[in-house]
Amino acid sequence: MDASASALSVRDVTKTFHTPEGGLVHALDSVSLDIAEGSFMVLLGPSGCGKTTLLRCIAGLESPDSGQIALRGQRIDDMPVWRRRVNTVFQSYALFPHMTVAQNIAFGLQMDKVPGDIIKVKVEESLDMVHLSGLGSRKPSQLSGGQQQRVALARALAKEPEVLLLDEPLSALDLKLRRGMQSELKRLQRETSITFVLVTHDQDEAMAMGDQVAVFNAGRIVQVGEPREVYLRPRSRFVADFIGEANVLTGVLDTFGLVVESLGLVPRDRLIADTDAASGRVHVAVRPENVSLQIDPVGTAKVTDVSYVGGDMRVEALASAVSIVSRVPSQGVQPPRIGDRVSISFAEGSLTVVAD
C-alpha cells in the first residue's frame, strides 16, 4: 500500500524498555505498517508481543525511540497527545464515576471549548449512535458492563477522531456480550467510516472483526493480510499455530508432491499453487477442516482421541510419530472411534509452505 494513501503510516518504529533488573526489552523492533483510510485494522498477538506498545505510540502515551508515525501524511509522533486527531477506548473504559453518562460524553468536547449548544447535539447524536438514547442522566454505576463500554465508545466518537484506537475493549465482557459488542463495533465503523485500530489477543475476535489483521510476535509484525488470507495462508509456523489450529508437517517437496514420513506421498495438487517455487525439505501447514480421515483396516494412522466441539467433532490420529488433527461434522457423519485405523487425505489446494 502507498503510504501517502494511508490513514495511518508507521515507519521503522522501535521502542525499548529497561527492566528492573537492568536489562532491556525490545517491545517494538523496526515495525512498519500502513493502515488504509476507513478500514478496520486488528493488531493481533500474544501478551508482550508489542501490539499495545504500538497503539500507545500512536496515541502519544509512549514515545518511540526511533521511527516515524504519520496521520494522513502528517507526522504525529513528535506531537503532544492533545493535538493528535486520534482517540482511545481503553480496556477499563475510564469513565468518570461522579459524572452522568451525558457529562462523560461531553467532557472531551468541553476541554476543546466546543460551544454548549453543539455539545448538546453531539451528546444526543453519540448516545443514539450507540443505542443508549434516554440514558444520559444515569451514572456509570447504574449501567451494565456492555452499556459502560458503549458510553466509552460514544465519548470517543463524539470528538470525531480521524482514527479510533481500541485497546482490548471487550476483554472484560462475558462471551455472549462480547460477541454482541463485536457486531456493534463493526456497525459503528461502517456507519462512521472512521479508521478503527483494535488490539486483541483473541484470534476469533480478530478474524471476525478485521478488514486486515497484523500478526505480532516478539516486537515484530510477522504477517499482514485479510483474515481469510492469514488463516489459510500463514507464512510462518508461528502464525499457523497462533491463529486457530493447524497441522504442521515436515517433508521433502519435489515435482511430484510432498513426501511426509509415515504418510507417504501427498500429491502436488494438494498444495496451494503459489508453492510452485518451493522444493527440498519444507514445513507445510494445513487446517483440520481440510483433513479427511477414512476408516481403513490397513490405514497408516490410528485414532487416538475424539472430542465433541459443538458443530464439529475433533478427531486426532497418530501415524508413527506424526500427529494429525481433523474436523468432521458432528451430525450426518459417523466419525471414527478411538482405536480405529484410518487413511489420511487432504483437500485440494489446502497445504501451504511455512517458514520455521
138 shares its domain with 283: no
8 shares its domain with 57: yes
pLDDT for residue 135: 92
User: Treating both helix axes as pointing N-terminal to C-terminal, what angle do 101-111 and 116-129 enclose, rounded to 10 degrees?
Assistant: 130
CB 211 within 8 A of CB 246: no
- The structure's pTM equals 0.90
* Rounded distance between C-alpha atoms, residue 98 and residue 120, angstroms: 19
CATH at 207:
3.40.50.300
What are residue 248's DSSP bridge partners?
285
Question: For 172, how many CA atoms within 13 A lie in the half-sphere containing its CB?
Answer: 13
pLDDT for residue 277: 60
Alpha helical stretches, state H, the chain: 51-59, 101-111, 116-129, 145-158, 175-192, 203-209, 227-232, 237-242
CATH at 334:
2.40.50.140
222 shares its domain with 253: no
Amino acid type, 280: G
295 shares its domain with 220: no
Among 90, 352, 324, 59, smallest CA distance to 225 is for 352
pLDDT for residue 278: 66
Strands 280-286 and 352-354: antiparallel
63 shares its domain with 205: yes
Q: Is residue 239 part of a domain?
A: no
Q: What is the pLDDT along the chain (356 residues), one digit of tens a residue?
A: 555 568 999 999 999 998 888 888 899 999 999 999 999 999 999 999 999 999 999 999 999 999 999 999 999 999 999 899 999 998 887 899 999 999 999 998 998 899 999 999 999 999 998 889 989 999 999 998 888 988 999 999 999 999 999 998 888 778 788 888 889 899 999 999 999 999 999 999 999 999 999 999 999 999 999 999 999 999 999 999 999 899 999 999 888 888 988 788 899 889 886 655 667 889 999 999 999 999 999 999 999 999 988 788 999 999 988 899 999 887 777 788 999 999 999 999 999 999 88
pLDDT for residue 3: 55
* Residue 225 CA to its chain's centroid (Å): 10
146 shares its domain with 290: no
pLDDT for residue 21: 85
pLDDT for residue 94: 84
Residue numbers of the domain that contains 330: 245-354
10 Å CB burial of residue 179 (0-12, 13-18, 19+) is middle
* Rounded distance between C-alpha atoms, residue 55 and residue 198, angstroms: 9
78 shares its domain with 218: yes
* Rounded distance between C-alpha atoms, residue 255 and residue 54, angstroms: 43
Amino acid type, 321: A
